[in-house]
Structure 1
Amino acid sequence: MLKQNRLLALAEKALTAILLVASGACFAQAGYPSKPVKLVVGFAAGGPTDVVARAFADHAARALGQPFVVENKPGANTILAAQAVASAPADGYTLLFGATNHTMIPALYGTRVKFDAVKSFQPLCTVATSPTVLVVGPGMPVKSLADYMARARKEPRRTTAGTAGVGSSGHFATEMFARANGLQLNHVPYKGAAPVVTDLMGGQLDSSFATLGSVLPQLRAGKLAALAVASPKRSPLLPGVPTFAEAGGGNYSADAWYGVLAPAGLPQPIAQQLEKAAGDFAASTAAAEKLRGLGLDADSTCGLAFAQQVEREVATYMQIARDLNLKAE
């Protein structure tokens, strides 16, 4: 009997210890954040991703009561930044502010990277999207997407489509559209987006699948024309331009996203706090105005939906890269 009582006492002590540890963990998570949070950006300061990251950091700091410090870590097509976050503790104090190119890393670099773009991260929320638009210059005699597609079908590989380089987001967007509609376009890679716009306006290039922010000034000035927006719905920045689906281009979408990812294994209570902060940021009037100035739309896709989007994109880009034998230099 005495032995049984001792065993019961030990069991009670063990249960009490477990409950204390569990309550302590919950308290620690409920107290998040208790120190500054690092937001790693894989691009140099001043670019679109950096600007959006800093706007989100300001909002998150006010919402959660601790500084969110942006750390620019450019290099190797954002691989350095992603690696730094993938190897960080999953405690919510080191986050990645990434963009669509994150899902292109496996397609271009394969096993050369030391992380898995899907399994090493927990996608939290997008906060903005940059619609991809098909733009043409004055040298392209078409008035609609239907005209463009008819011309491309009539003369395969003659219609030129410029991008910022082999393996760029524009390159993948061009290939995805061509495959979805049975077209053969003449891909012309450049070293950056600026020379693409220059040659479009000069008539040396027919078209480009470009992010809206990179061509918005020229569209507003009438120097380029947009035929369709590769989004599920029309962009508030170009309300008169139809989506590809509306214009007869099929169910084609190629939005570029900007969002927050954490190392895999982030505790759910912390994830929920960060997701709420991101969602509230995207829903705010201040963010909408800031993003509109960059040619971006405020957008919040969180949790499982964002994770599934990342996984789909990785699979799609890997298939295209295999088919085209694309490899980063």
Structure 2
Amino acid sequence: MHFPVRTTAALALLGLAAVVPFAQAQDNYPTKPIRLVVGFPAGGPTDVVARAFGEFAARALGQPVVVDNKPGANTILAAEAVASAPPDGYTLLLGALNHTMIPALYSNRVKFDALRSFAPVCSMAVSPTVLVVGPSMPVKTLSEFLAAARAKPGERTYATPGSGSGGHFASEQFNRLAGTRMNHIPYKGAAQAVTDLMGGQVDSSFATLGSVLAQVQSGKLRALAVASPQRSPLLPDVPTFEESGVKGYSADAWYGLLAPAGTPAEIVAKLTKASADFARAPATADKLRGLGMQPQHTCGGAFTAQLDGEIKAATKTARELDLKLD
């Protein structure tokens, strides 16, 4: 079909008119409130990080950041809400380690790709996994713990916040590295697991430091080792697993920001700066320290590579355990 020159020029101008406002929208972002979706109830560690970041980002970006708690289905509901949102920077996900376990655990009910449906922005906080024991297992070192576990294969117990949780994967990865076999006791959340651990109903737990820091500091639980490359400044006297003889074991739990795939690079850059500035701020370190966390900013390609590696590792572990939740 042939268009007259005048008509062709008019169409070109219309196309340009459509592009210019879109470009300006990116340059002026944000011009309205941002929705920050969290896959956990209010009050938990992911929610606390989300609200702290939301307050900081609201000041940095000049628009309110509204936290939207959408718990359920092991964070699938929250991730799905963000994956299906327009890629305009106004619907974001404050994700955690559970996000990279979704592909390993679910194959039928998930309508998104945990990596390709998102634009990973930055991780902002990290909480190391720590091995803690209660009164039913009065050991003082990791070597004593290993001896006790190996003496009674399959009889010693470990508590987790549920099947397929970060604690479950961390525990099974430890069993493989250390050559131990223990009995998994899943709970519906970390709070009840910690309560029963203190009460002696279960022997141990591979828990995020934030969930047990107060109990360790009060002496109600004993921390034997932390699963991070260096000792935690919150527990400077507790050695790493590497120092204690279990080589290559690391199980940090991250908290980070993800946008829908296709979000313009200019918007991602603004979110990256806000995330990195938040992680570097002294007030952030003070707030996170009390929760058993530390600031961390791994952004862009490095964050994407981290998520990809975690998805592959979790998928391998789930396959070895024959673990599926759908």
- The TM-score normalised by the length of structure 1 is 0.91
| Secondary structure at 1:299 match in 2 | strand
Summarize deviations over 1:207-259 as a string: whole Å, max 9, x none: 11011111111101111110111112221211111111111111111111111
**Which residue in the other structure is 2:132 paired with?**
135
Bigger shift: residues 31-40 or 157-166: 157-166
In 2, the alpha carbon distance for the partners of 1:309 and 1:38 equals 25
1:251-266 → structure 2 map (5 Å cutoff): 251-266=248-263
Q: Percent of aligned pairs with the same residue?
A: 62
1:51-70 → structure 2 map (5 Å cutoff): 51-70=48-67
Pair 1:152 & 2:149 matched: yes
**TM-aligned CA deviation for residue 134 of structure 1:** 0.2
Summarize deviations over 1:285-306 as a string: whole Å, max 9, x none: 1111111222211111111111
In 2, the alpha carbon distance for the partners of 1:133 and 1:73 equals 28
**Which residue in the other structure is 1:100 paired with?**
97
**Which residue in the other structure is 1:321 paired with?**
318
**Which residue in the other structure is 2:302 paired with?**
305
Q: Kindly indicate whether the alpha-carbon contact (under 8 Å) linking 1:145 and 1:249 is maintained by their aligned counterparts in 2.
A: no
Of residues 175, 179, 189, the one that matches 2:176 is 179
**Which residue in the other structure is 2:241 paired with?**
244
Which residue identity lines up with residue 49 of structure 2 in the other structure? V
Pair 1:191 & 2:188 matched: yes
In 2, the alpha carbon distance for the partners of 1:315 and 1:192 equals 25
**Which residue in the other structure is 2:42 paired with?**
45
In 2, the alpha carbon distance for the partners of 1:154 and 1:45 equals 42
The CA RMSD over aligned residues, in Å, is 2.3
| Secondary structure at 1:138 match in 2 | coil
Which residue identity lines up with residue 310 of structure 2 in the other structure? E
Q: Kindly indicate whether the alpha-carbon contact (under 8 Å) linking 1:244 and 1:250 is maintained by their aligned counterparts in 2.
A: yes
| Secondary structure at 1:166 match in 2 | coil
In 2, the alpha carbon distance for the partners of 1:269 and 1:234 equals 37
In 1, the alpha carbon distance for the partners of 2:266 and 2:292 equals 33
Bigger shift: residues 54-63 or 285-294: 285-294
Summarize deviations over 1:53-100 as a string: whole Å, max 9, x none: 011011111111111111122222221111111011111111011111
Pair 1:91 & 2:88 matched: yes
Q: Kindly indicate whether the alpha-carbon contact (under 8 Å) linking 1:126 and 1:306 is maintained by their aligned counterparts in 2.
A: yes
Bigger shift: residues 297-306 or 17-26: 17-26
In 2, the alpha carbon distance for the partners of 1:302 and 1:85 equals 19
In 1, the alpha carbon distance for the partners of 2:311 and 2:170 equals 13
In 2, the alpha carbon distance for the partners of 1:50 and 1:192 equals 15
**Which residue in the other structure is 1:278 paired with?**
275
Which residue identity lines up with residue 28 of structure 1 in the other structure? A
| Secondary structure at 1:248 match in 2 | coil
Structure 1: runs of 5+ lacking an equivalent = 1-5
**TM-aligned CA deviation for residue 266 of structure 1:** 1.4
Of residues 272, 288, 293, the one that matches 2:290 is 293
Pair 1:209 & 2:206 matched: yes
**TM-aligned CA deviation for residue 17 of structure 1:** 8.5
Pair 1:71 & 2:68 matched: yes
In 1, the alpha carbon distance for the partners of 2:121 and 2:24 equals 22
Summarize deviations over 1:156-187 as a string: whole Å, max 9, x none: 22322111221121111100111122222222
Of residues 214, 222, 225, the one that matches 1:225 is 222
Bigger shift: residues 71-80 or 224-233: 71-80
Which residue identity lines up with residue 270 of structure 1 in the other structure? I
Structure 2: runs of 5+ lacking an equivalent = none
Distance 1:14 1:291, change over 3 A: same
